Amino acid sequence: MAHKTKRLWKYQPLKSSYDAVIIGGGLHGLATAYFLAKKHGLSNVAVIEKRYIGFGGAGRNTAIVRANQRTQENLPLYREALQLWPVLTKELDFNLMFHNCGNLNLFHSEAAMKAARLNTASGQFHGIKSHLIDAEECKRMVPALDISDRPRYPILGAMYHPPGGIVRHDAVVWGLAKGASKHGAHIHQGTEVTGIEVYKGKVAGVHTDKGKIKTPRVLNAAGAYSADISSRLLGAKLPISVLTIQAMVTQPLKPLLNHVVSSGAYHCYANQTLKGEIATGAHMDPWPNYTNETTAHYIKHQAEALTEFLPCLAGVKFMRIWGGLADMTPDMAPIIDGNEPVEGYYIDCGWGYFGFKSSTVTGKYMARYMAEGRCPEILKPFALSRFKEHRLMGETAALVNYTPDN
Amino acid sequence: MKRLTHLPTLKIDTSKKISVYYRSKTHTGWYGDTIATLLYADGIRVFGRSLKYHRPRGLYSLDGECSNTMMAVDGRPNVRAETTMAADGMHIAAQNVQGTSEKPVESTPEKDWMGFMDHLSWAMPAGFYYRIFHKPEKLWPIAVSRIRKAAGVGVLTSGYTVKGRYDEIYPATDVCVVGGGPAGMEAALSAADKGLRVILMESRPWLGGFYDYRTSLDADGVPLYRKANAMAERIAGYPNIRVFKNAPVVGVYGNSMVTAFQRGGRDRPFEQRYIEIQTRSIVVAAGCIERPLLFENNERPGVMQMGCAHRLARTWGILPGRRAVFSIGHDLGLEAAIDLADLGMKVVHVADVREDGQDQRLLDELKKRDIPFSRGWTAIKAGGKRNIEKVTIGTVNGMRRREFSCDTLAASAGLTPVTGPLATAGAKLEYHHLTGFFLPVKLPDNVYAAGRLLGLNDPASVEASGRLNGLRAAAACGVRVDSELKAAEAETSVLPGPVRNSKMVTAPVKNQKMFICFDEDTTVKNVDQAMDRGFDVPELIKRFTAAGTGPGQGGVPGHNLPLYVAQRGDSPDVDPRPITVRPPLTPVLLATYAGRNHDMHKRTPVHESQSASDGRMDRAGVWLRARYFSDDRRSRREIENVRGNVGVLDASTLGKFRIFGNDALKALQRVYIGDMNRVREHRMTYAAMCNDDGCLIDDGVIVKQAENDYYFTTSTGRSGATIEWIRYHTRYENLDFHMVNLTDAFGVINLAGPNSRNVLQKIADVDISNEAFPFMGYREFTINDIIPVRAMRLGFVGELSYELHVPSSYMQAVWDLLEKAGKSFKIKKFGLEAQNTLRLEKCHVIIGSESEQRTTLCDLGLGFLWCKSKPEANTVGSVALRQTENQSGRLKLVGFKMKNGLERPPKDGSPIVDSRIRGYVCTARFSFTLNEPIGMALVEDSYAKPGSVFGIYENGCKGRLIRAEVVKTPFYDPTGERMKS
């Protein structure tokens, strides 16, 4: 195979004017740029990225995709997101490596089983396949599980969600960049947005460290940094706390886990990447911060948890741990809004740790929102105003406690 | 092979034989051998096959910088044979070998039918998998399973269990020194001389660093290995230096924590142990490893680092081969060539990439031995199928070449500093032009770097640097060392400084198999391909080519990748940028991190009594609590006994607090939604806390014991957060109050049922008749004259009942007295499941069960607890409650019963009206008391009125809804007669 060495995305000089500027070269930003350029003919678009594309959560997540959410506002969005992976693989002509291995969500208590029953029913009502299985069935699917009474949280059963799996996260970044660039969007790495120009209540332009840009539309899709940008550049404060979330991988092994396995009681999820590493993540750090630093106790916690319900993993080694930032809202659902507080300013943030699986579908609808100026039905429930009205979303039933006041 | 057994530098004990099994044969070595040296001494050259191309791989370094010698040992995959001590009876197997044997243990890595993959590398450019396998779509699932089988290295069976003891320790110290070489030892000694506690960490089994295997002399004419021994002996004489050998440091966190693990052994009675060190200052003296030389087939067995060849002979008594070529870029390579020649190896040629800068004395020694030497030459290509047979060397400019037949090629571009501990500590590293190293330009406070990793090479400089930084670390602990520091600084200033290192990155060959990363089979050409596709930062190239993401943790590509990227990049004036280093710096077994895996849970004072009478103890947060007292998952007998006789429940997990001080009332007024002014002395009230959204977060009772002195309870789940919550919400006013968490100081017994008064009266020292102690009353009295009891008449389960708060030490006694007194009244324990159904019949709410995160007090029908006349701004949640009180579209809590005579409660599911989800089923049970299923649900307000009918979509119902009707609540004893009587 004589391979052509074509750049995946083109280098372009920064123009002085674009139809839309997207802050953040992560998945949400790139997906929006791609759909704007491809579907809505808005190809004069720039993605402005301070570091390099995929620097943030896009390259730091554990690549799990699923649609077993809790509420009817979220379920259809994630359902469509799952359906998009094969479609985009084809459209972008870039193998996103969607490994449709299914997700096994273990439960260890009556309360968790109750929640699983509810989620399963809600999912089924929306046409999303999930069903409950008992501990023996879990063991058949994942022989490495310990279903005895030995672990401190014995496994009672699981919610099995066949349509989920894992996707190669970097491939999504690069594939979308390739697609966006092909349809005319510009990707400017190493460029920092320093200001948003507002004229008569409307977005007029964006200032960057490489020059000024005129534009009527700006999308803030800066992930963990979006609240800071919103507050600093527009004075618009968002109810977002930023917390480090850590993940780690083991040395590569021949196939051992054939499904994504997660456990709420152990604060732990694990899957085997196509390379053979066991990728695993935990709960967020319990306090807000803006660093990607890792801590000694998380990797220890993770080993303690994993070796409880997957005891054979005691014989494998952790190879590395990394941190990423999660932008958490008070109800663990995102903030998607437009023309607030000024016309032409759009936000797509607050995804917490759901930003990867939702990225492409959100980009699709966000692009429509920005192109047509009207919020698509599917995004309406995520408006910022819900916090003012005390109408939180019920994506998590329990109280979230990641801020000092909770 | 005959081993050299009389060298003074040996670290093996030739009086103790060790035998291991490999490929069904016994291989014998000596105590002190690693698995790799033992096998190498027995003639094994190919240790495994590479990940992608199944190329043969052999011994390359001795410190585990790549996966070449990763093997399976006793069923455990990916063991580093070169750093793992051989032990008698080990079963060893090669990894990633295809097809030579059915049994993996017998697979011979010398043969591998997948070896043809090597010829297909042209079809696998960097990131090739992103461009194929997805067309046609049907191909992909098949490809996935093939990719999965091909990927990965070792095999872990799902039934694998670790054996032996995995320990953990948490020592504290003043100075932690990372690295037990000359600089580290000097640093430890100079800090210890100041009376400080020192911990010295060394990953190898002995101290000595780059001295321990060398016979060359220092300025005073002492052989370096002897110097190392003398320093180690001095260290051993210091009681305030704690040395951990066999203990690689895996992470440095800021300037105060160092994590490591230690391998067990003869005097270390554990398999491994996790070490977490709290320290006041840190000296990193981790030395250098070698920077691999990039040339064609640079990872073929027989090619090894100069230090590897040298240490094999000097430390383990193994000559690496018969005929060797050296291609090196550092004086240590010249020294190794001379020494190995003296030990009996034929050194056919020494090529040095450096044009100048060599130590003239070493060149003279080479000359003395007639060893040919060429400047500005480098290895170009290694030839030979499983082990090298010949080597081509050439000039760096590519003009001239020569070929030699040999079985060993000691190859190294030079050194690279081990800066991982500094990088994880938060040091900023930058490219340093003289040394060619990435060196710290800014260190965190109290973190110091010393020794060879700074680019020093002269033994005197290295030692002085250790002394100087040991003193700095001591000063960081507050010791006054001004004059010594000055002297040490003066000493280092006259000694040789950092030395220039070779800058060559790749040999002058193009498009050949030069491996920049062995673990991932990444070639220099793959890096080119990635850069052609637009990846220009090392971090992205790493992700696209996988270079540096393997088990060697970047040991091989860590330095070369950024150098190469900078060299080839578009802007030649940009300095190379180091790639990110992440913990653990050495891979760590999960068993080791898990350690003893402490199970931190709490037991109530009457735990044993319950578990002894068939109580099934389940986790409830941090507690173990009894859920059932029989195998009946519906707890029918327990429920009926509470309704008909009397039951006893252990509620000790309830949060219990005292708040007192001048502003105690003000603090309570802030967080409770009701009016705390109304609580009179020695009286009790039921109250709730909301958050800023008006959502119910806690409920409990408050007892006023005196003016500004209250006792209050919280739900089990909130007890940990309560003090912080109250402090947070009073943080601006400087209120004067104190709180004590009494949760563990008091136990709680809930005595419930129509016979409960009769039972309690038998043991209480006071009159507890309905008149003396009415519903919602609070009393303090004694039992048996001495046991103080705080008693509350509450009715969570809907019967006449008492909540008895008893000092934990008396809990067992009261529990036993009640059991005895209750015998004739058929007293019976009941668990959480029974309580759940009982309180459901009364529609009493459990937070988190009937409430979601978004459910307000009013949504739950508990609005009566909210005092609207209190100043809103001073009450958490009050504003939100007002704003949402009459908001439409909210989910409201309702009770429901099943329609159409359905005799089972719904499984949890969603209420459906007009094909839309309208809420959530909260709790549903079959009520034995009412003989019908009942439940509570949160439903949209338009469907919340009694008489409304909704469907319920259950898990697995396939669209067949069951129907339910909203009814008036509570289900049981609506007037509350039974609680009040």
Residue B314 CB contacts under 8 Å (≥ 6 apart), including other chains: B7, B9, B10, B213, B214, B215, B225, B339, B343
pLDDT of residue B503: 87
**Chain A residue numbers touching B277 (CB-CB < 8 A):** none
Q: Do B130 and A171 touch (CB under 8 A)?
A: yes
Q: Do B551 and A319 touch (CB under 8 A)?
A: yes
Q: Please state the rounded mean pLDDT for residues A95-104.
A: 96
Quote the CA–CA distance of A391 and A333 in Å, as a whole number.
12
- Number of structural domains found in chain B: 7
Nearest to A109 among B597, B618, B853 (CB): B618
- Is B661 a member of any domain? yes
pLDDT of residue B497: 95
Q: Please state the rounded mean pLDDT for residues B616-644.
A: 94
- Is B455 a member of any domain? yes
Same structural domain for residues B195 and B279? yes
Quote the CA–CA distance of B276 and B381 in Å, as a whole number.
45
What does pTM read for this prediction? 0.94
Q: Which residue of chain B is at minimal alpha-carbon distance from A175?
A: B130
Residue A223 CB contacts under 8 Å (≥ 6 apart), including other chains: A24, A26, A28, A56, A57, A58, A325, A327, A349, A351, A355
Quote the CA–CA distance of B699 and B111 in Å, as a whole number.
71
- Is B233 a member of any domain? yes
Q: What is the CATH number of the domain that holds B615?
A: 3.30.1360.120
Q: Please state the rounded mean pLDDT for residues B849-858.
A: 94
**Chain B residue numbers touching A294 (CB-CB < 8 A):** 251, 582-583
Same structural domain for residues B467 and B523? no
Same structural domain for residues B26 and B117? yes
Ranges for all domains in chain A classified under CATH 3.30.9.10: 103-162+241-328
Asked if pLDDT for residue A3 goes beyond 60, the answer is: no
Contact (Cβ atoms closer than 8 angstroms) between residue B802 and residue B760: yes
**Chain A residue numbers touching B692 (CB-CB < 8 A):** 405
More confident site: B129 or B271: B271
More confident site: B956 or A213: A213
pLDDT of residue A1: 40
Q: Report residue A289's pLDDT band, with 50, 70 and 90 as the boundaries.
A: confident
pLDDT of residue B908: 84
Asked if pLDDT for residue B103 goes beyond 80, the answer is: no
pLDDT of residue B367: 97
| ipTM value for the complex | 0.95
The candidate with the shortest Cα–Cα distance to A257, out of B93, B594, B152, is B152
pLDDT of residue A406: 40
Quote the CA–CA distance of B68 and B118 in Å, as a whole number.
16
pLDDT of residue B221: 94
DSSP assignment letter at A91: H
Q: What is the CATH number of the domain that holds B681?
A: 3.30.70.1400
**Chain B residue numbers touching A399 (CB-CB < 8 A):** 691, 695, 697, 848, 853
pLDDT of residue A2: 43
Q: Which CATH superfamily is domain A20-61+170-240+334-388 in?
A: FAD/NAD(P)-binding domain (3.50.50.60)
pLDDT above 70 coverage of chain B, percent: 99
**Chain A residue numbers touching B160 (CB-CB < 8 A):** 312, 314-315
Q: How many CB pairs under 8 A join A and B?
A: 297
The candidate with the shortest Cα–Cα distance to A316, out of A325, A324, A326, A306, is A306
Q: Which residue of chain B is at minimal alpha-carbon distance from A159?
A: B955
Asked if pLDDT for residue B181 goes beyond 50, the answer is: yes
Same structural domain for residues B643 and B780? yes
* CA dihedral for B428, B434, B435, B436, sign (positive or negative): positive
Tens of pLDDT, residues B701-749: 999 999 999 999 999 999 999 999 999 999 998 999 999 999 999 999 9
3-state secondary structure of B802: strand
Same structural domain for residues B622 and B757? yes
Q: What is the CATH number of the domain that holds B975?
A: 2.40.30.110
Contact (Cβ atoms closer than 8 angstroms) between residue A143 and residue A50: no
Asked if pLDDT for residue B104 goes beyond 70, the answer is: no
Q: Residues B865, B870, B872, CA angle at the centre, nearest 5°?
A: 100
The candidate with the shortest Cα–Cα distance to A198, out of A319, A87, A341, A338, is A341
Q: Do A253 and B152 touch (CB under 8 A)?
A: yes
Contact (Cβ atoms closer than 8 angstroms) between residue B36 and residue B69: yes
Tens of pLDDT, residues B427-477: 999 999 999 999 999 999 999 999 999 999 999 999 999 999 999 999 999
Same structural domain for residues B490 and B557? no
Q: Which residue of chain B is at minimal alpha-carbon distance from A168?
A: B130
Q: Please state the rounded mean pLDDT for residues B299-315.
A: 97
Quote the CA–CA distance of B419 and A235 in Å, as a whole number.
42
Same structural domain for residues B89 and B183? no
Q: What is the CATH number of the domain that holds B52?
A: 3.10.20.440
pLDDT of residue B102: 52
Hey, which residues 796-835 in chain B have their CB within 8 Å of chain A?
833
Report yes or no: B160 at the A interface, CB cutoff 8 Å.
Answer: yes
What Cα–Cα distance (Å) separates residue B245 from each residue in B36, B64, B263? 20, 16, 9
Same structural domain for residues B299 and B280? no
- Is B255 a member of any domain? yes
pLDDT of residue B108: 79
Q: Please state the rounded mean pLDDT for residues B385-409.
A: 95
pLDDT of residue B167: 97
Q: Do B584 and A396 touch (CB under 8 A)?
A: no
Q: What is the largest CA-CA distance in chain A?
A: 67
End-to-end C-alpha distance for chain B, whole angstroms: 95
Same structural domain for residues B538 and B564? yes
DSSP states of B744-784: TTEEEEEEESTTHHHHHHHHBSS---TTTS-TT-EEEEEET
Asked if pLDDT for residue B170 goes beyond 80, the answer is: yes
Same structural domain for residues B691 and B797? no
Q: Report residue A369's pLDDT band, with 50, 70 and 90 as the boundaries.
A: very high
More confident site: B352 or B103: B352
> Taking the C-alpha atoms of B782, B783, B785 and B786 in order, what is their torsion angle to the nearest 10 degrees?
-80
> Taking the C-alpha atoms of B357, B359, B363 and B366 in order, what is their torsion angle to the nearest 10 degrees?
-130
Place of tokens 């003016």: B707
The candidate with the shortest Cα–Cα distance to B911, out of B925, B933, B884, B893, is B893
Q: Do B159 and A143 touch (CB under 8 A)?
A: yes
> Taking the C-alpha atoms of B674, B679, B684 and B686 in order, what is their torsion angle to the nearest 10 degrees?
-10
pLDDT of residue A402: 58
Q: Do B551 and A110 touch (CB under 8 A)?
A: no
Tens of pLDDT, residues B667-690: 999 999 999 999 999 999 999 999
Listed residues B124, B145, B177: the one ending a domain: B124
pLDDT of residue B23: 87
Interface with B, mutate which of A254, A272, A291, A294 (most B CBs under 10 A): A254
CATH class of the domain whose range is A103-162+241-328? alpha beta
- Is B757 a member of any domain? yes
pLDDT of residue B554: 85
What does pLDDT average to over chain A?
A: 94
Quote the CA–CA distance of A365 and B217 in Å, as a whole number.
73
- Is B781 a member of any domain? yes
Asked if pLDDT for residue A297 goes beyond 80, the answer is: yes
pLDDT above 90 coverage of chain B, percent: 87
Q: Where are the alpha helices (DSSP H) in B852-906?
A: 878-884
What Cα–Cα distance (Å) separates residue B350 from each residue in A26, B61, B356, B978? 51, 19, 14, 99
Asked if pLDDT for residue A279 goes beyond 70, the answer is: yes
Tens of pLDDT, residues B897-919: 999 888 999 988 899 999 999 99
Same structural domain for residues B283 and B429? yes
Contact (Cβ atoms closer than 8 angstroms) between residue A350 and residue A228: no
- Is B504 a member of any domain? no
Quote the CA–CA distance of B846 and B753 in Å, as a whole number.
20
Tens of pLDDT, residues B491-527: 999 999 999 999 888 999 886 799 999 999 999 999 9
Q: Please state the rounded mean pLDDT for residues B272-287.
A: 98
Same structural domain for residues B647 and B751? yes
Listed residues B697, B717, B739: the one ending a domain: B739
Q: Report residue B572's pLDDT band, with 50, 70 and 90 as the boundaries.
A: low
Q: Which residue of chain B is at minimal alpha-carbon distance from A399?
A: B853
Asked if pLDDT for residue B575 goes beyond 90, the answer is: no
Q: What is the CATH number of the domain that holds B557?
A: 1.10.10
3-state secondary structure of A362: helix
Q: Do B910 and A125 touch (CB under 8 A)?
A: yes
Listed residues B90, B124, B158: the one ending a domain: B124
pLDDT of residue B573: 66
Q: Please state the rounded mean pLDDT for residues B774-793.
A: 96
Q: Report residue B789's pLDDT band, with 50, 70 and 90 as the boundaries.
A: very high
**Chain B residue numbers touching A99 (CB-CB < 8 A):** 144
pLDDT of residue B715: 95
**Chain B residue numbers touching A153 (CB-CB < 8 A):** 619
- Is B8 a member of any domain? no
Q: Do A122 and B953 touch (CB under 8 A)?
A: yes
pLDDT of residue A405: 44
Tens of pLDDT, residues B801-838: 999 999 999 999 999 999 999 999 999 999 999 999 99
Sequence letter at residue A299: I
Kindly state the tokens that stand for B308: 């590897």
Contact (Cβ atoms closer than 8 angstroms) between residue B153 and residue B78: yes
pLDDT of residue A403: 52
Sequence letter at residue A367: A
Q: Do A308 and B597 touch (CB under 8 A)?
A: yes
pLDDT of residue B99: 60
pLDDT of residue A186: 98
Name the residue range of residue B634's domain. 607-652+745-839
What does pLDDT average to over chain B?
A: 94
Place of tokens 């006793």: B74
Q: Please state the rounded mean pLDDT for residues B963-968.
A: 97
